[in-house]
Amino acid sequence: MISEEKIRKLVNQRIEGSELFLVDVIISAGNNVRVLVDSMEGVKVQECAEISRGLIGELDLIDEDHSLEVSSPGLDAPLVLKQQYEKNIGREVEVIFNDGKKKKGKLIAVAGKGIDVELTEKAITGGSQKKKKNILVKKTFAFDEIKSTKVVISF
């Protein structure tokens, strides 16, 4: 059986000194290994192929019965690492909280323990003629209250 820890170590050795960072290692039934890497500039197919070629020999020594896929997480994958949040500053994101509530807004900063998002909220304005108006507000959300965050894809 191939261990996730061993694969993480091998991948980190391969990408050391490059702009790439390891996002996740997923091992499913039948030793199907999926390695997700990313960088602030995106990942080239050639970089994935080089990592794959480097890993395949090492994995064959551990267990000959496996499959290997090396790729970037993809546009629709949730953000997992702080580096992924930093990479997506300025983009619209959908934040899903642990309680199931959702908020959409523009990711504007990543702090040590959370993110800052610019949202549109309705506010009551005016004196005697109270009107609802959309206003931009900055909200800070702690990582521990966030279930997942995805970049909103728009064309």
Residue-wise pLDDT for 49-78, tens only, equals 999 998 988 876 666 677 889 999 988 899
141 versus 32: the higher-pLDDT residue is: 141
Q: Does residue 67 sit in the same domain as residue 87?
A: no
* Same-domain check for residues 60 and 14: yes
Total Cβ atoms within 10 A of residue 5 = 9
CATH number, residue 41? 3.30.300.70
The pLDDT of residue 95 is above 80: yes
Torsional sign, CA 72, 75, 78, 83: positive
Spatial distance between the Cα atoms of 101 and 110, rounded to a whole number of angstroms: 21
Domain that holds residue 35: 4-71
Q: Is residue 76 part of a domain?
A: no
Same domain, 67 and 103: no
Q: Tell me the per-residue pLDDT of 78-88, one tens digit each, with 9 for 90 and over.
A: 999 999 999 99
Q: Report how far residue 104's alpha carbon sits from residue 150's, in angstroms, rounded to the nearest whole number.
A: 10
pLDDT band (50, 70, 90) for residue 22: very high
Q: So what's the pLDDT on residue 1?
A: 66
Clarify whether residues 53 and 88 are in a common domain. Answer: no
DSSP 8-state secondary structure symbol assigned to residue 86: H
Please state, in angstroms and rounded to a whole number, the distance separating the CA atoms of residues 60 and 55: 9
Say how many domains are in the chain.
2
What was the pLDDT predicted at 75? 85
Instruction: Please report which confidence band the pLDDT of residue 121 belongs to, taking 50, 70 and 90 as the band edges.
Output: confident
